[in-house]
Structure 1
Amino acid sequence: MTTTTTARSYPRSAGLSVLRLPGGRPPISLLVHRRSAAVAGVLLAVLAAVMLASACLGQTVVTPYDVWHVVRGGTGPYTLVVGELRVPRIVLGALVGAALGTAGALVQSVTRNPLASPDVIGVGHGAAAATVLALATGTVASPGALPAVSVAGGLAAAGLVYALAWRRGMQPSRFVLAGVGIGVALSAVVHLYLTDSELDAAEQVKLWLTGSLNGRGWAQAGPLGCVLLLCLPGLLWAGRVLRPLALDPDTAAALGVRVRRAQLGLTVLGVVLAASATGAAGPLGFVALTSPQLARRAARTPQLPLLCSALTGAVVVVAADLVARTLLTPLEIPVGALTALVGGPYLLWLLGRSGRPRRV
């Protein structure tokens, strides 16, 4: 017995199509934004091209054929460079970017603020403070345990911010302000440790704080990939909730959305993704801030598109890591420093644009 896929189109101005998969009981229907689907396809192609370029370029230039030969499991002179050094790093960068892009879209949707991101609500600062305290007290037996420590610190910081922002419901403005305050306090803890610690420990913490993919690979990409897979059902739910939640809270409640529970669920999901990405690669500034806004401007959707945000974040991180590796060869710039260098002017532009009156 064969099944066919049918699609029913909305009016052209809506830009929506209903994709129905018959055969299920009840039948499954998916609401697809046509432009978002097209943008996601383009971003996927761009991501594949950037990943291939990153695998080919470096101190040792490798042809695409040799890269494909190694990826298929073949052996040769480039097995070490491509198979053990570049490919795991590229995969980790794509996963980190996808997690940060998705987390930024979720947090900005909850706060209704394009200037909000997991960095603002203290996830990165909490991860950094937990890592510093673990190194200072000697509670971490091996460097491999640092990602778990940073994830726990990010979750704890975000939980504290959420508790401070709760006043008979989550107040978005209080949420952002509490996150800024907690972030400043935790940043002070980190700097206090750096000024009163041994040189080796301080250098290790400084390298982690800048955010880097150097020396990282499958050991970090595997757990982060598992987190993304475990979060996939929650992301499918989030895609449905974000449409009515983009309206005002009263309208969303009238449409059957439990607004407070939805806000809590979206926040927890975003914090888990951001903390996991930070634990894998360190804090990469401005990726979670810029990726959702770039994706929204490309897709032209009323709410932040999760898939496009994830793909945009992956493209940004992989491309930034390629530039960081090759710009000053043989020196290597931490990818977090490069994303902050590019993201800072974007934040200033966004701040200036948010103060302008909108044309009617």
Structure 2
Amino acid sequence: MPASVAVRPAGYSVLRAGHARFLVHRRAVAVASVLLVLLAASCVAYLCVGEAFVSPAEVVKVLLGRSSPDELVVEELRLPRLVVGLLVGLAFGVAGALIQTVARNPLASPDVIGISQGASALTVASMTLGITSYSVLPYLSVAGGLLAAALVYLFAWRGGLHATRFVLIGIGFAIALRSITTLFMTKGDYLVAQQAQIWMTGSLNGRGWPEAEVLAPILLVLVPALAWAARAQRTVSLDDDTATALGVRLGRVRLGLVALGVVLAAVATGAAGPVDFVALLAPQIARRMTRTAQIPLLSSALTGAVIVVLADLLARRLFSPTELPVGVLTAAVGAPYLIWLIIRSRSVGGTS
């Protein structure tokens, strides 16, 4: 009998770390590397461009802690906002990837199926009641997002989680929760309503280290859970019968992935407001670039960060001196993409 030989899937390489071996998708690694370079270039451009242009050399000098005449502009005005944008983009990118993986539907993202609207409803209600501290709002957003997700999950569960039912029920909840948010805004104080309206558009204007200090620790704490999620994606992507035969408890795994995605989306919403369509766009762009069977979490996170950083840079400079909320630009790109996805899914369904 010939000795058994391990078959390596096409497009993968074996990475050895001591006695451990890992399969690495070569194209996914290449895409992630390109995205890292693009993100670094976007960050430098973000710190350079503004009312006063700062040369890249001066930006690097400030980041290295050296004395520079542009230290105030870069370190105090632009860098804190950039850090918040990076963290928000990373969180939305991963959240969209996890939720789309569980739903097996590119239409499923936090801002489409009611999660962002749940976070917004509780946050705006709290603002109406006088709670406006940005150190508290992210936690309220998490509570609202988790509650909305639990309701969607509960109503969509019928002996299993059907993708189409999950998305449709989520859209229904999103509409209802948006109406509740509008009701709170009309009943509250005028100034608070104006503040809530700006927050609802998704904006990084005025965001800085206080928001980053809330968002960064939460993301760091969730890193081990994300490592588990990257592994769990493989089993969730299998059909239900195969996964069950392998001993996978699909209900628990799906619930864990959804809960992780909800927390990420809700915390990002609390920090910057509902920046629409980032969680919808980033995973699909990443998957098309990597051509992997599962949505790649790292590439989705990097894509989300690139989208938010570039969108906010354009929002600051496109109609200068007027600053647009970053959510306006992401919605301008994401809404047509959502319409295209719906039309495409209908045409595919009609031909099947």
Q: Same fold (TM over 0.5)?
A: yes
Q: Secondary structure at the match of 2:59?
A: helix
Find out whether 1:193 has 2:189 as its counterpart: no
User: Alignment partner for residue 289 of structure 1, among 265, 280, 289?
Assistant: 280
Task: Give percent identity, aligned residues only.
Answer: 56
Give yes or no for contact 1:9–1:16 (8 Å, CA) kept in 2. no
Deviation of the 1:143 alpha carbon: 4.4
Q: Secondary structure at the match of 1:120?
A: coil
Which stretch of the first structure deviates more once superposed, 146-155 or 208-217? 146-155
Deviation of the 1:40 alpha carbon: 0.4
TM-score with structure 1 length normalisation? 0.91
Deviation of the 1:329 alpha carbon: 1.0
- Inter-partner Cα distance in structure 1 for 2:181 and 2:127: 11
User: Alignment partner for residue 10 of structure 1, among 5, 8, 11?
Assistant: 8
Tell me what 1:110 maps to. Answer: 102
TM alignment of 1:91-110, pairs within 5 A: 91-110=83-102
- Inter-partner Cα distance in structure 2 for 1:287 and 1:127: 16
Tell me what 1:4 maps to. Answer: none
Tell me what 1:38 maps to. Answer: 30
Find out whether 1:53 has 2:55 as its counterpart: no
Give yes or no for contact 1:9–1:18 (8 Å, CA) kept in 2. no
User: Alignment partner for residue 126 of structure 2, among 97, 114, 134?
Assistant: 134
Tell me what 1:68 maps to. Answer: 60
Q: Secondary structure at the match of 1:355?
A: helix
Q: Secondary structure at the match of 2:135?
A: helix
Query: What is the identity, as a one-letter code, of the residue corresponding to 2:54?
Result: V
Q: Secondary structure at the match of 1:204?
A: helix
Q: Point out where structure 1 has 5 or more consecutive residues left out of the alignment.
A: 1-7
TM alignment of 1:102-251, pairs within 5 A: 102-138=94-130, 140=131, 142-251=133-242
- Inter-partner Cα distance in structure 2 for 1:351 and 1:121: 14
Which stretch of the first structure deviates more once superposed, 350-359 or 316-325? 350-359
RMSD: 1.9
Find out whether 1:312 has 2:303 as its counterpart: yes
Find out whether 1:80 has 2:68 as its counterpart: no
Which stretch of the first structure deviates more once superposed, 113-122 or 38-47? 113-122
Tell me what 1:275 maps to. Answer: 266
Give yes or no for contact 2:135–2:214 (8 Å, CA) kept in 1. no
Deviation of the 1:105 alpha carbon: 0.6
Query: What is the identity, as a one-letter code, of the residue corresponding to 2:334?
Result: G
- Inter-partner Cα distance in structure 2 for 1:181 and 1:89: 34
Query: What is the identity, as a one-letter code, of the residue corresponding to 1:219?
Result: P
- Inter-partner Cα distance in structure 1 for 2:212 and 2:259: 21
Give yes or no for contact 2:279–2:304 (8 Å, CA) kept in 1. yes
Query: What is the identity, as a one-letter code, of the residue corresponding to 1:17?
Result: S
- Inter-partner Cα distance in structure 2 for 1:283 and 1:10: 42
Which stretch of the first structure deviates more once superposed, 44-53 or 191-200? 191-200
Give yes or no for contact 1:105–1:292 (8 Å, CA) kept in 2. yes
- Inter-partner Cα distance in structure 2 for 1:264 and 1:317: 28
Query: What is the identity, as a one-letter code, of the residue corresponding to 2:204?
Result: L
Tell me what 2:3 maps to. Answer: none
- Inter-partner Cα distance in structure 1 for 2:109 and 2:94: 10
Deviation of the 1:173 alpha carbon: 2.9
Query: What is the identity, as a one-letter code, of the residue corresponding to 1:350?
Result: L
TM-score with structure 2 length normalisation? 0.93
Aligned length: 346
Q: Secondary structure at the match of 1:304?
A: coil
User: Alignment partner for residue 322 of structure 1, among 313, 319, 329?
Assistant: 313
Q: Secondary structure at the match of 1:69?
A: helix
Query: What is the identity, as a one-letter code, of the residue corresponding to 1:104?
Result: G
Q: Secondary structure at the match of 1:29?
A: strand
Q: Point out where structure 2 has 5 or more consecutive residues left out of the alignment.
A: 1-5
Find out whether 1:21 has 2:17 as its counterpart: yes
Tell me what 1:3 maps to. Answer: none
